[in-house]
Amino acid sequence: MASDRWDMLQPFYREVVRRNAGDVEFHQAVREVLESLGPLFERRPEFREAAIVERMCEPERQIVFRVPWVDDAGRVQVNRGFRVEFNSALGPYKGGLRFHPSVNIGIVKFLGFEQVFKNALTGMPIGGGKGGSDFDPKNRSDAEVMRFCQSFMTELYRHLGEYTDVPAGDIGVGGREIGYLFGQYKRITNRYESGVLTGKGLGWGGAQARTEATGYGCVLFAQEMLRARGEDLEGQRVALSGSGNVAIYAAEKAQKSGAMVVTCSDSSGFVVDEKGLDVELLKQVKEVERGRIAEYAERRGTSARFVPDGSVWAVDCDVALPCATQNELTSEDAVQLVRNGVKAVAEGANMPTVPEGVQVFRNAGVAFGPGKAANAGGVATSALEMQQNASRDSWTFAHTEQRLAEIMRHIHDSCHETAERYGVPGDYVTGANIAGFELVADAMLAQGVI
């Protein structure tokens, strides 16, 4: 039956591949969603009749532009900027900006496509988009980052607005970059439009708990998956990848919940800390000093060791939180995790598990939370920041964290209930894909062929 349903959708997928030649990450994201939608189309044939799939797989707008800037040595550098405004059926485009050498149009389209469904699952009135540049802020001075951000925003500003498109941060774009981007937007437009960017500083329109939100939300989702199986996060051994914003605050929240987080990583290798990560030391090394993960191990003492090669997923754990980047967790890693007895996997990054790895977890009965559900806490809190900006208000950390917890429970319950309704109980991949798709598709039907 599942094969028949995929046969029905293959023509759509082949057309996506043809129209987006070479964009392999985008192909992967589209296929992962389409493979879940057969049961939905059987119940809702009007979606096929209105060509919802074809329209949803084609971005409403794709913007590519040159970003020239001058480095500290006086040399002119040229990067490429992107913004894919994917779908605005539920609200203004919303999604982060990523500054990293790997960024290209295919990656931005994959991220934007995922963002559409992730944002829908939050229940907030926001559409989906994504953007960024192949600029690498690593080892660049503050002055160089400022000049790049100013040049980037000089082109992008004309496409933004609190009712049009609201970017946030992502890999390589933190509070420093958001500040420079917002300053240039304000300078060009002569408007203090707080709601045009999220992830702002607390003193000038930012929201409490926004920094922590993606990592905290990922742990909250993992906790809900365990509770649905009669277990709890307390006392569990957690392995996570990455050491950026998502990973740091996932570690913090997991340990506040009584778990022990024993790993973190960066591009140079990973650390195993058998006493549990010292989150404050990790913050000092990565957020303040912008150092390498090996420095954490050197300063932590005998409980921690740095491993320059191999896989972080070979470390024994009960819960795995991939929080680094796309396609980091391979099928071999998934097999190793299952062999070691992993109970739950929640994706803090966007599409960090390869499709074959996802299938390994599903076949083994592991609770698997896909990124579009498990890491939606960041964009949900961005939407809460937009609410505060619109009302010229500021909420406490405790209030915002409570709202985040409510939203993550809503996302979990929506995915869980949808999976049961479509005959695949416990399958959060199918539940997330159908629940998110249906919300966007209904809005597109209501708004006509646009």
Q: Which residues are catalytic?
A: 130
**Taking a C-beta distance cutoff of 8 angstroms, is the pair 199, 210 a contact?**
yes
In terms of Cβ atoms closer than 10 Å to its own Cβ (0-12, 13-18, 19+), residue 231 is middle
**Taking a C-beta distance cutoff of 8 angstroms, is the pair 377, 207 a contact?**
no
Q: How many angstroms separate the CA atoms of 28 and 357, rounded?
A: 13
Query: Three-state DSSP class for 369?
Result: strand
Q: How many angstroms separate the CA atoms of 272 and 49, rounded?
A: 53
The residue behind tokens 């389209």 is 109
- Annotate 133-154 with b (16+ C-beta within 10 A) or e (fewer): bbbebeebeeebbbbbbbbbbb
Residue 62 backbone phi and psi in degrees, to 5: -125, 125
Q: How many angstroms separate the CA atoms of 113 and 12, rounded?
A: 15
Strand pairing category for 61-70 and 76-87: antiparallel
| Cβ partners under 8 Å of residue 341, min gap 6 | 316, 318
**Taking a C-beta distance cutoff of 8 angstroms, is the pair 76, 49 a contact?**
no
Residues making up the chain, counted from first to last: 450
**184 closest CA partner among 225, 140, 148:** 148
Q: How many angstroms separate the CA atoms of 175 and 168, rounded?
A: 10
